[in-house]
Amino acid sequence: MYDYTEKRRSIRDLMEYAVPEGWMEEAEDLLDIYRNDAIALELLHEFYSYLPEAGSDWVREIRLIGRRQGMFLLAAVTPVNSYVYLVSSEGIEFQGILAEGLWDRDILDFFGYGSRDTFREQSRSAERFGIYEPLDSDRDICPGCHAATGELHELGCPVELCPWCGGQLVYCSCRYDQLGAESLSSEEDIIRFEEILDRRGRIPYSPEQRPAYPDEGPGVLIE
Ligand SMILES: [Zn+2]
Ligand SMILES: [Zn+2]
C-alpha cells in the first residue's frame, strides 16, 4: 500500500529547505492538489530531493507532456525552469531540462516523437502542455496501474477483471484451473499464464471497473 501521508510529510520536510522565502504557501497548495496522486507525489519528492539549493526553487505547476500505458512524461515547472521526469508506478527518472529536449531514443519513440528535434520543436515552452490532472479525479485512468481507458492493465493490477469468471483476476482461482496447477510459484508459471490469458483475450481498463469507494455511494437521504 502506498503511504500518502508519509510521502507528503517527507516532501514537506524537503520543501522547508528548498522553497524560497515567502513561497511556502503556494508550494504547499500544489502539494495539496496532488495529495492523493502517487505519480505527482513521486515527482515532487524527486524534485525536492535533488534539484534545488537551499531556498532557491519550487514547483509552481506540473504539466503533462505525454501519457501511455501507465508511463507519464511530466514537466515540473518552476519560476526558474521546466524539468522533465518519466514517472510510473514502478519508479521515476529525471530526463533533464525541457528546453534542451529529450535524449533518450526509446522514450522519444515510446511517446511518438520522431526525433529529438521534433520534441524540441513541440516543447519550446511548458505552457504548450496541459496541466496534469490528479489521478484520483481522472476516471480514464486505472487507479491501480494507471493504464488509460482501452489499454491493458499491468499484469497483477487488482482492478483487472478475469476474462473467464468476471471477478478480480488477482483474487479468483481461474489461473490455477487454467494452468492445472495448485499454485503459481515460478517465473515460468507466470509467463505461461500470461500466454493463456493473452490467447483468451484480456479485458482492458474501462471506467466502470473503478472500485466503488464508500463516499461515492448514493448516500443516505434524510427527509
Ligand atoms: Zn489497472
Ligand atoms: Zn476468474
Per-residue pLDDT, 1: 61
Taking a 5 Å cut-off on Cβ, the residues next to ion ligand 1 are: 142, 144-145, 147, 153, 157, 159
User: What CA–CA distances, in Å, run from 198 to 152, 169, 194?
Assistant: 11, 13, 6
Q: Where are the domains of the chain?
A: 4-137, 147-209
* Mean pLDDT score, 182-191: 85
Q: What is the tally of helices (H) and strands (E) in the chain? A: 7, 4
Helix axes 4-18, 24-33, angle to 10 degrees: 160
User: What CA–CA distances, in Å, run from 136 to 38, 213, 218?
Assistant: 9, 12, 19
Q: How far apart are the first and last CA of the chain?
A: 39
Is residue 8 helix, strand or coil? helix
* Mean pLDDT score, 10-33: 95
* Mean pLDDT score, 38-67: 93
* Window from 1-5, 163-167, 203-207 with minimum mean pLDDT: 1-5
* Mean pLDDT score, 119-144: 86
Per-residue pLDDT, 53: 85
61: pLDDT confidence band, cut at 50, 70 and 90?
very high
> What ligand has the least distance to the C-alpha of 161?
2
Cα-to-centroid distance, 39 and ligand 2 (Å): 30
pLDDT higher than threshold 60 for residue 59? yes
Cα-to-centroid distance, 9 and ligand 2 (Å): 39
Cα-to-centroid distance, 13 and ligand 1 (Å): 31
> What ligand has the least distance to the C-alpha of 178?
2
What's the length of the chain? 223
Angle, CA of 215, 220 and 223, to the nearest 5°: 150
> What ligand has the least distance to the C-alpha of 173?
2
* Mean pLDDT score, 185-199: 91
* Mean pLDDT score, 46-65: 93
Cα-to-centroid distance, 171 and ligand 1 (Å): 14
> What ligand has the least distance to the C-alpha of 174?
2
| CA proximity to 205, closest of 64, 69, 73, 74 | 69
Per-residue pLDDT, 29: 93
* Window from 33-37, 40-44, 51-55 with minimum mean pLDDT: 51-55
d(CA 76, CA 82): 5
pLDDT higher than threshold 60 for residue 31? yes
* Mean pLDDT score, 117-134: 90
Per-residue pLDDT, 162: 96
